[in-house]
Structure 1
Amino acid sequence: MGTEQIPRIAPTAPASGRSGDRPDACSGPVQWLVDRTAAAGELLTARPVSLYAASVLRIGYGLLYLVFLLREFPHRDEIWGPNSPWTPALARELFDQTGWNSILTLSDSRAYFELCYALALVTSALFVLGWRTRVLSVLFAVVVVSFHARAIFMTDGGDNLVLLMAIYLAFTACGRRWSLDARRIRLKAARTEAPAPQVKRHFLRQLRVSLATLTTVVHNCGMFVIAAQVCFLYGSAGLFKVQGASWGAGTALHYVLNLRLFQPWPALSHLVDQHTILIAIAGYMTVLLQVAFPFVLFGRLKYPVLTMLLGMHLGIAVLMGLPLFSGAMIIADSAFLPDRFYTVLPQLCRRVALRAGLGRPAPSRATGAGSVPAQGRPASAAGSVKSPSANT
C-alpha cells in the first residue's frame, strides 16, 4: 500500500489554460477546509488518543461504582430489591412509557436479586482491574443502566454522569494501559522471542488493517464524546447560573449552605457561612470557571482551571454531602490531562518518596522507557500489523 511502489512520472505541461488554473481553484478558504478535513481524518485514524486518560476513567468510575454498591449493601433491598416501595411491577410499568430496561426486573425472586447484586460487585471489581476489558466494559454499562433504571427516582447528578460515562467507555479502548490485559500482553510479548509470522494473504492483511483502523476510530470518537459531554455539562451549568439573580448578587452559596437537606455537618456549614466576602468570591469564581471551561482546554491555562475545579468539587463533597457527584466530576476532569502527565506522575511520586526515604530507586530500564508507549499501528508494511484484539 505504500507509495514507494508507484513509479514516478515526470510532470507534463497542462493541455489548456483551464487545467493550469486548477491550483488556484483550491486556494484560500477551500484549501483551508481541505487541510482541516485531512488533519481531522489523520487525528481520528492515525493512533488512539488519550489511552492513559481512558484507563483513569475506567479505574475511577469502576471503583466509584464499586464503593457505591458496597456502601448501599445494607440498604440494597429497600432501594433495588423486590421489597422496595418502588416495586418491580411499578418499574416495569414505567419502562413501558420511557423505554428503559433493567435486568433486575426480569424476576421478582429474592435469590435472583442477590445473584444480580453479587455479579454487579464482581463486574465492577474486574472492570477496575482491567480483566477482559472489551467484554467487561459492556457488562459494566449494563450493570449501571440496570441499577439506575430500577430506582430512577432515587438518583442525582452523580448517578446520571456515571451512567453516561459507563456507556461511553464501552466504545473506548480503556484497557490498554494500567490493566491486567496490558500486563498479560506485555508478558506474552516478553516470552515470545521470535517475531510474529506475517500474514501472506493480501485479503487478511487488509482485514487486519481495517479492524485496527475501525478500533482506533471508535475509541477516538468515544473520547471526543466524553470531552464534549463534560464541556456541555460545565457550560450549561454556568449559563444557568448566570441567569439567576442570587448568583449575580453573590448570595447563592449562602442559601446553599443553609439548606438543611445539604448539611452533613451543620456546624461546619455555619462556620463557612460567616465569611460572607469569601462566599461571594467563591460564587463568582464558580460561575466564571464553568463558563470559561470549554474555552481554556487548548492551552496551559487549563491546568490552574482544573486545579480550582478540583477544590470546588472537594468543597461540594464535604460541605454539601455529595461525594458521588463530586467524585464523578473529578474523574471526568481527568480526561483532559495528556498522556505525558500520567507517564511523568509515577516518576514524580517516586522522587518524592525517595526524598522522604520511603522508597527504593527504580531498576534501570532501556532508553525511552519513560516515554509514552507506541499507541498506533507500526509504520512498516501492512503485513506486520498486529491484530486489534491484541491491543485491548
Structure 2
Amino acid sequence: MSELVTGRPVSLYAAAVLRFGYGLLYLVFLLREFPHREEIWGPDSPWTPALARQLFTQTGWNSVLTLSDSRAYFELCYTLAVVTSALFMLGWRTRALSLLFAVVVTSFHARAIFMTDGGDNLVLLLSLYLVFTACGRRWSLDARRIRRRTARPERPAPRLRSHTGRHLREGLSTVTTVLHNCGMFVIAAQVCILYGSAGLYKVQGASWGAGTALHYVLNLHLFQPWPALSHLVDQHTVFIAIAGYLTVLLQVAFPFVLFGRFKYPVLVMLLGMHTCIALLMGLPLFSGAMIVADAAFLPDRFYAALPPLCRRAVRLTCLRRTEPPRSTPGTGSVPAQSGPLGHRPTHRSAPPDHNGTATVFRKRPERR
C-alpha cells in the first residue's frame, strides 16, 4: 500500500485531462458571460459588493473582487481571470497557475453565489484538489519544455557537495508523489460521493419510483432552452420512465463498478446522460464539469494510445487525398487496341535519314 502511494505518480494523463478540461470550461464560461459580467460580478450588480461582504461574515468565504468597488479594478480582475484560465489550460507554469486558477474560481464563485448554476460548485472543488496534483506533467507546455531540455546535449552533472542535498531532492520528489496520488484519490472519492448521494436521494422520491420525475423536469419553464424539443421528448412516456430508472441505477452503481470492466459502458451511458442534461435543461457548465470528472476514471494506457491513433488516422487521410485516381475504361481513357486476329500492332523505328528524322514502319499482321 505504501508503494502505491509513494512509489510513482498515478493517473498523470487523467490529471492532465482534468487540467485541460476545467481550464477550457471556465475560459468558455468567462467569455460567454463577458457581455453580462457587470450584472453578475460587477460593482453595479444587483448582488452588490456590500451584500457579498455581509454574506462572507456568515459563510467565511472571501473574494478578491470585493477588495475594491472600482470599475477599473473589476475589469483588471476579469482580464486576469481569462488569461489565467487560458494559461492553466495550456499547462504553462502549472505549479503556480494551478493555485492562481483556484483563487480565480473561488473568487468568482463567492462573489455571485446565487446567480450561477450548480456546475461551478464541482469546478470549485476540483480546482482546489488540482493544486496538489502534478497535472502539468503530460500534454502541457511544461512537459514540452522539459522534453526539449532533455533533448539537448548532456552536460556533466555537478556533484552534490554532501548527501544532504541528495536526500532533500529525493524527499521533495516523494512528497510531490504523495500529494499527487492523494489528490487524485480525493478527486475520485468526491465524484463517487456525488453520484452515490444523488442516486440514493432520488431513490427516496416518489416521482423517481413511479418513473415520472423526468416528465416534471422537462416541463419546468426555468430549464427549457428549447421548449419544442422538451415537449417532443416528453411525448415518449415509456422512454422517459426507462431513462429515469436507468439514471438512478447508474448513479447508485457507479462507485461499485470502478474496479471492473463494466465501468466502461457505465461511463458511456453517463456521457449520454450528461449530454441530454446539457441540451434539454440548458446546463452546459454542469454537464461539462461532470463529463470531465468522469474522464478521470479512464486508465493512462487509454490516453497514451490516443496520440498514435490520431497520427495514424491523419496519415491515412493524407495518403488517400494525395493518391492519384485510378483510370478505368469508359471514363475518358482509351484502352489498348489489338489487331484483327488478336495480335497487337508493333512498331519499329528505322535509323534516322539524312534529314535527321526517323521513319516509322508499321508491321502488318501475318495472314494464316
1:145-183 deviations in Å (ceiling 9; x for gaps): 000000011132201000001101011111011111111
1:327 aligns with 2:288: yes
CA RMSD of aligned residues (A): 1.4
Q: Which amino acid aligns with 1:285?
A: L
Which residue in 2 is equivalent to 1:224?
185
1:209-234 deviations in Å (ceiling 9; x for gaps): 11100000001100000000000000
1:136 aligns with 2:65: no
Residue 351 (structure 1) aligned to one of 279, 302, 312: 312
1:115 aligns with 2:76: yes
Which residue in 2 is equivalent to 1:158?
119
1:322-380 deviations in Å (ceiling 9; x for gaps): 100000000000110111110112222333334444799xxxxxxxxxxxxxxxxxxxx
Specify every segment of 5 or more residues in structure 1 that has no aligned partner in the other structure, as ranges: 1-39, 361-392
Q: Larger relative CO (CA 8 A, sep 6+): 1 or 2?
A: 1
Deviation at 1:193, TM superposition (A): 2.0
1:229-274 deviations in Å (ceiling 9; x for gaps): 0000000000001111111111111111111111111111111111
1:41 aligns with 2:19: no
- 1: CA distance, partners of 2:59 / 2:320: 55
1:353 touches 1:359 (CA, 8 Å); kept in 2? no
2:117 touches 2:283 (CA, 8 Å); kept in 1? no
1:171 aligns with 2:161: no
The percentage of counterpart residues that share the same residue type is: 81
1:235 touches 1:291 (CA, 8 Å); kept in 2? yes
Which residue in 2 is equivalent to 1:7?
none
1:188 aligns with 2:149: yes
1:80 touches 1:151 (CA, 8 Å); kept in 2? yes
1:257 touches 1:270 (CA, 8 Å); kept in 2? yes
Which residue in 2 is equivalent to 1:340?
301
Which residue in 2 is equivalent to 1:366?
none
Local SS of the residue matching 2:132: coil
- 2: CA distance, partners of 1:339 / 1:205: 30
1:289-312 deviations in Å (ceiling 9; x for gaps): 000000000111111100000000
Specify every segment of 5 or more residues in structure 2 that has no aligned partner in the other structure, as ranges: 322-368
2:23 touches 2:85 (CA, 8 Å); kept in 1? yes
1:246 touches 1:252 (CA, 8 Å); kept in 2? yes
TM-score of the pair, normalised by structure 2: 0.85
- 1: CA distance, partners of 2:157 / 2:100: 32
Q: Which amino acid aligns with 2:238?
A: I
Local SS of the residue matching 2:138: coil
What is the aligned length? 321
1:91 aligns with 2:45: no
Q: Check 1:115–1:358 CA distance in 2 against 1; reply closer, same or farther (3 A cut).
A: farther
Q: Which amino acid aligns with 2:286?
A: F
Local SS of the residue matching 1:332: helix
Larger-Rg structure: 2
Q: Which amino acid aligns with 2:112?
A: A
Which residue in 1 is equivalent to 2:354?
none
1:258 aligns with 2:219: yes
